[in-house]
Amino acid sequence: MAGDIISFTLLTLSSIIIIVNPLSATLIYVSLTSSLEPATKLTIAKDSCKFALLILLFAAILGTWILQLFGISLEAFRIAGGILLFGIGMEMVYAKVSRTKLTATEKYESRENDDVAIMPLAIPMIAGPGAITTSIVMMNEAFGMTPFAIGIVLCSIMFSIGITYYMMRNSDYIMKRVGQREYRAINRLMGMLLIAIAVQFVINGIKIAFPLLTGGS
């Protein structure tokens, strides 16, 4: 039992951190706030992380119920989510900003927007479709375990957003030490891990949806 909790903790924490991708969010934050005053930049960092946290917590707590309301099985959502995460992971491996997170048009238009905290930083940069999907899937896994597992998912979400806020707040220091080459290397490594997690999501979904294919009854 203890081994299952440890494995679940490591999978949940790594999955959410990788898909939130604090470093990528920080780079976008820097590009969108480069001409703003330090106090304004700090406010944007706080607001974007606060809204992203609320969105992911809402998705984690009520996501399964919402799926049931629309008649969507978790197995179908898990498989679809795995395919989505696989695509995001592939883009990370090729050192691209995922199109599910921020488009060039959104980035350009946000420069003319006084409030970039909600759009595009909180949505879809931090709390994008991948992060929302991961939160729902991991919380559903936790519901089948123990109340402690539920706390693990919630704490993982808060920890990931906390890291993102810390990196945004210290973005000037970080940007002096992280060049494009280092960023691409880190992004590709995280992309490979995300691809592996995505494949596992699909495998688990297929096992439950089609037990005969995996030798079940």
If 0-12 CB within 10 Å is exposed, 13-18 middle and 19+ buried, where does residue 110 land?
buried
pLDDT in the model for residue 95: 66
Using 50, 70 and 90 to split pLDDT, how confident is the model at 215? low
Q: What is the CA angle 116-120-51, rounded to 5?
A: 80
The 10s digit of each residue's pLDDT in 145-198 is 888 999 999 999 999 999 999 999 998 888 777 776 777 787 788 788 878 878
Q: What is the pLDDT of residues 11-32, one digit of tens each?
A: 999 999 998 989 888 888 887 8
Question: In sequence order, what DSSP letters do the residues of 68-135 get, joined into one string?
Answer: HHTT--HHHHHHHHHHHHHHHHHHHHTT---TTT--HHHHHHHTT-S--IIIIIIIIIIS-HHHHHHH
Question: What predicted TM-score, i.e. pTM, was given to this entire model?
Answer: 0.77
Of the listed ranges 60-64, 99-103, 115-119, 151-155, the one predicted with least confidence: 99-103
DSSP letter at 64 equals H
> Which domains are present in the chain?
7-214 (1.20.1250)
Position 69 pLDDT exceeds 80: yes
- Residue 120's nearest CA partner among 112, 129, 110 is 110
> 112 falls in which pLDDT band (50, 70, 90)?
very low
Question: CA separation (Å) from 175 to 34, 170, 182?
Answer: 12, 9, 11
77-104 confidence digits (pLDDT tens): 778 878 887 887 888 788 665 555 555 5
For residue 115, the tally of other CB atoms under 10 A from its CB is 12
User: Across all residues in the chain, what is the average pLDDT?
Assistant: 82
